[in-house]
């Protein structure tokens, strides 16, 4: 009986923890590679210090390798990092080295941390911590440390398009630097009113809810041309 | 009836004076220059507004649109339009005295109060025309040139984005409040006009009062805190409050009441002064 248990334990170890960082990443990259292009409707709900913005609706377009466009009738605020650049970055395996980290449960999904360090000294991403479910080959959390945008944390939720690794919800948490108003641009008539007090750096969240995914239906390059 | 006829007469007088068109011409030229500048280099202006957030966030959609241009134009011109208004309204009573027509005017079967009221109504209509022209150029022409979209407003608390569907009533109300502010200036210059014998004095005096009150209003000195809420210049930019969320309704009402009170008091002063004025010697 003991020997049976030992074999089961060893096998579990091989399946769950035996994979290298590269192997875990490969599972994710393979899913990314399944998607040639996609189009989706997105609802953008932003809670950002210093910015009051209504819920916006937009359509996003993506085409391999790095074509990405957001089309919205109104003004839509999106994070500068983490939309399509991460998948592009992960697909280029020669440009980074990956280190396997701890196991962590995120929203009831068992994940492994992969720390990714770019080999290119000019890379915008300094460090990417990616939490990947090894059983599903899906990213459930990413913490990106970037040169110009500070730290961006992204939580993913999946629904219908799991097989493509396309989330139905992404929650971005971004660093917002203290707002400095250009005095020549704006003036308040009642400037004696109490102003909201903010810290030097605050966190803002942007929640993207995706719907109506159209995957691999073909998107013309014309769509990505700038207006 | 006589008041109405005299008002028509006053409007015709305004229409025949070249200076009346200087205001409209200057306003048109200024707006066209702003529109041209925005068409040529509007994106850098937008960059200036969103610069504080550009490192972390990307702004998608049509930010540079007709609504934003209209807002920028209103913000820029609401300071300068009073000068163009007083150019005409400051001349209404003093111009008659300078040209010697005031006595002839007094021989008409209309009271002195009627003369003042007809000139004030004419000044009001001229101010209304200027405001409507400002609104037409800034809203319709700007929208025709730049298209429409959500409005991004910058204030000291940060950025506010107002959806396009929520803008028409805001612009209408803003123009109405702007008209009230300009109407106050027109009445002020008419009041000065009742005291002067040429039109330069009332125009310069009106602008001096606006500049002086504006400076007092911007000085962060507690000694002026008691009078600031009652200065009409404090409320001249009340139209901007309409573009806040939530908009401060009670503060807007307060501004409207103070501006209307100024108009009433200044018109009263004009009536008293003109009725007591010696125009026979």
* Both structure tokens of B145: 């040139």
A186:B156 CB<8 A: yes
**CA atoms of A142 and B238, how far apart (whole Å):** 46
For A171-197, the pLDDT digits (tens) are 999 888 766 665 545 445 455 445 555
ipTM: 0.76
Over 90: is that where the pLDDT of A93 sits?
no
Instruction: Flag the least confident range among A87-91, A129-133, A155-159.
Output: A87-91
Beta strands in B118-253 (DSSP E): 151-155, 158-162
Residues of B in contact with A53 (CB under 8 A): 159-161
Burial group, residue B36, by CB count within 10 angstroms (0-12, 13-18, 19+): exposed
Give the one of A71, A75, A177 whose C-beta lies nearest to B59's C-beta: A75
- What's the full length of chain A, in residues? 227
Pick among B38, B42, B156 to test the A interface (most A CBs inside 10 A): B156
**CA atoms of A82 and B198, how far apart (whole Å):** 68
* Both structure tokens of A195: 């102003």
- Give the confidence band of A81 by pLDDT, cuts at 50, 70, 90: confident
Over 50: is that where the pLDDT of A10 sits?
no
Going from N- to C-terminal start, the domains of chain A cover 20-180+197-210
Over 80: is that where the pLDDT of A5 sits?
no
pLDDT of residue B118: 94
pLDDT of residue A181: 60
Give the one of A56, A80, A195 whose C-beta lies nearest to B58's C-beta: A80
**Closest to A116 in 3D by CA, of A157, A149, A146:** A146
Q: Cβ distance B217 to B117 under 8 Å? A: no
Could you tell me which CATH class the domain A20-180+197-210 is placed in?
A: mainly beta
Q: Cβ distance B53 to A206 under 8 Å? A: no
3 state SS for A42-77? EEEEEEECCEECCCEEEEEEEECCCEEEEEECCCEE
**CA atoms of B243 and B71, how far apart (whole Å):** 9
Residue range A139-160: mean pLDDT, rounded:
90
- Residues facing residue A61 across a β-bridge: A39, A69
- Residues facing residue A96 across a β-bridge: A118
The pLDDT tens digits along chain B (281 residues) read 788 888 999 999 999 989 889 989 999 999 999 999 998 988 888 877 777 777 788 888 888 999 999 998 888 877 788 989 999 999 898 888 888 888 888 788 888 999 999 999 999 999 999 999 999 998 999 999 999 999 998 877 788 999 999 999 999 999 999 999 999 999 999 999 999 888 899 999 999 999 999 899 888 888 888 888 999 999 998 999 999 888 889 999 999 999 999 999 999 999 999 998 877 76
pLDDT of residue B150: 93
pLDDT of residue A94: 82
pLDDT of residue B70: 92
Task: Please enumerate in sequence order all residues whose Cβ is within 8 A of that of B213, keeping only pairs 6 or more positions apart, or say none.
Answer: B231, B232, B233, B234
pLDDT of residue B134: 92
pLDDT of residue B190: 94
For A15-35, the pLDDT digits (tens) are 445 788 888 888 888 888 889
pLDDT of residue B99: 82
**Closest to B94 in 3D by CA, of B229, B200, B13, B234:** B200
- What's the full length of chain B, in residues? 281
Interface residues of chain A, partner chain B, Cβ below 8 Å: 48-54, 56, 58, 70-80, 148-150, 152, 174-177, 179-182, 185-192, 195-196, 204
Q: Cβ distance A114 to A100 under 8 Å? A: yes
């Amino acid at each position: 009986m003991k020997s049976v248990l030992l074999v089961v334990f060893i096998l579990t170890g091989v399946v769950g923890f035996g994979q290298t960082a590269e192997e875990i990443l490969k599972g994710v990259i393979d899913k990314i590679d399944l998607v040639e292009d996609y189009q989706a409707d997105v609802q953008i709900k932003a809670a950002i210090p210093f910015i009051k913005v209504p819920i916006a609706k937009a359509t996003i377009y993506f085409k391999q390798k790095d074509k990405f466009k957001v089309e919205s009738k109104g003004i839509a605020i999106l994070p500068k990092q983490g939309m399509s650049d991460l998948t592009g970055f992960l697909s280029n395996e020669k440009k980074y080295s990956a280190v396997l980290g701890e196991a962590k449960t995120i929203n009831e999904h068992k994940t492994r941390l992969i720390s990714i360090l770019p080999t290119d000294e000019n890379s915008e991403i300094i460090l990417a911590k990616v939490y990947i479910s090894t059983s599903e080959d899906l990213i459930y959390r990413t913490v990106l440390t970037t040169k110009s945008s500070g730290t961006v944390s992204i939580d993913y939720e999946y629904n219908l398009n799991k097989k493509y690794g396309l989330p139905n919800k992404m929650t971005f948490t971004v660093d917002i630097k203290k707002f400095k108003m250009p005095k020549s641009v704006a003036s308040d008539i009642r400037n004696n009113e109490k102003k909201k007090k903010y810290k030097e750096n605050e966190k803002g969240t942007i929640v993207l809810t995706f719907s109506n995914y159209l995957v691999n239906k073909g998107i013309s390059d014309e769509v990505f041309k700038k207006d | 009836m006589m008041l109405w006829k005299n008002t028509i007469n006053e409007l015709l007088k305004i229409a025949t004076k070249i200076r009346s068109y200087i205001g409209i011409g200057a306003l048109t030229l200024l707006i066209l220059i702003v529109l041209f500048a925005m068409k040529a280099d509007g994106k850098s202006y937008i960059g200036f507004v969103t610069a504080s957030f550009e490192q972390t966030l990307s702004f998608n959609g049509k930010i540079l649109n007709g609504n934003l241009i209209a807002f920028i134009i209103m913000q820029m011109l609401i300071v300068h339009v009073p000068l163009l208004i007083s150019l005409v309204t400051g001349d209404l009573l003093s111009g008659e005295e300078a040209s010697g027509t005031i006595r002839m005017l007094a021989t008409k079967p209309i009271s002195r109060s009627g003369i003042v009221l007809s000139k004030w109504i004419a000044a009001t209509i001229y101010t209304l025309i200027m405001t409507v022209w400002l609104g037409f150029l800034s809203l319709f022409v700007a929208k025709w040139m730049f298209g429409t979209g959500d409005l991004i407003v910058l204030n000291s608390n940060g950025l506010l984005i107002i959806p396009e569907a929520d803008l028409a009533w805001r612009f209408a109300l803003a123009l109405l409040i702007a008209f009230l502010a300009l109407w106050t200036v027109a009445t002020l210059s008419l009041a000065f006009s009742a005291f002067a014998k040429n039109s330069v004095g009332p125009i310069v005096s009106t602008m001096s009062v606006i500049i002086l009150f504006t400076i007092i209003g911007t000085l962060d000195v507690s000694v002026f805190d008691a009078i600031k809420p009652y200065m009409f210049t404090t409320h001249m930019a009340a139209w901007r409050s309409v573009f806040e969320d939530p908009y401060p309704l009670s503060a807007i009402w307060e501004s409207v009441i103070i501006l209307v009170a100024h108009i009433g008091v200044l018109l009263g002063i004009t009536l008293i002064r003109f009725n007591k004025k010696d125009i026979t010697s």
